[in-house]
A = this chain, B = another copy of it.
Amino acid sequence: MTVAARVARRESLLDAADRIVRRDGPAASMASIAGEAGISKPILYRHFGDKGGLYAALAERYTGELLTALQDALHAGRDRRDRVERAVEAYLAAIERQPQVYRFLVRPDDSADGSVQAQLHVRSFTRRLAAQLADGIAAELGVPGSRAAVWGHGIVGMVQSAGDWWLETAAVPRAELVRELTDLLFGAYATA
């Protein structure tokens, strides 16, 4: 099998995994993905090593578009508050569009956690997002690295947790959720 064919095959396997994850979320099993792709399990394992490897490759796919959407939002706004609002909005829109994919990204399955692939690539989507945000904060505000790191992880966790709750309850409209979160970030709790 040529290299090009191998790459194409790998993409088609990821397509199948994509369909199953969209249907089953984090509970997607290797056997069902292999079935969807019309092949047997060992082929999957020869391509991706273990479940963590496949998940990492798939996460890589999903992460790309979301990260660029967030970057765009962060560079588009008029002022800092507007940029934050757009980024939160983009994040919530993405998780609302594909809830199963979101759960797959955020709730890493506890199994296969020793894999090197997994540690290198996913290390939980949250971590990458937080690290990226921390870099942005350090660069834009000029605060010390440790402070930026804490804030990055804190802010990501805040939006993520609120988004998780919102996905399950739909207790408030998205626009209101965005506003409340932005208010919170900009000190409304201190002055309420």
User: Which residues from chain A sit less than 8 Å from chain B, CB to CB?
Assistant: 26-27, 80-81, 107, 109-110, 126-127, 130, 141-143, 146-147, 149-151, 153-162, 164-166, 171-172, 176-177, 180-181, 183-192
With both chains docked as a complex, state the minimum distance between the C-beta of A3 and any C-beta of chain B, in angstroms.
37
Q: How far is the CA of A1 from the CA of B189 in the complex (A)?
A: 54
Chain B, residue nearest A27 (CB) = B110
Does B181 contact A185, Cβ atoms closer than 8 Å?
A: no
A146 touches which of B153, B171, B185 (Cβ 8 Å): B171
Question: If A110-B26, A110-B27, A186-B189 touch, does A151 touch B180 (CB 8 Å cutoff)?
Answer: yes
**Chain B residues whose C-beta falls within 8 Å of the C-beta of A146 in the assembled complex:** 171-172, 176, 180
**Chain B residues whose C-beta falls within 8 Å of the C-beta of A107 in the assembled complex:** 110
**Chain B residues whose C-beta falls within 8 Å of the C-beta of A165 in the assembled complex:** 127, 130, 149, 153
Does B162 contact A154, Cβ atoms closer than 8 Å?
A: yes
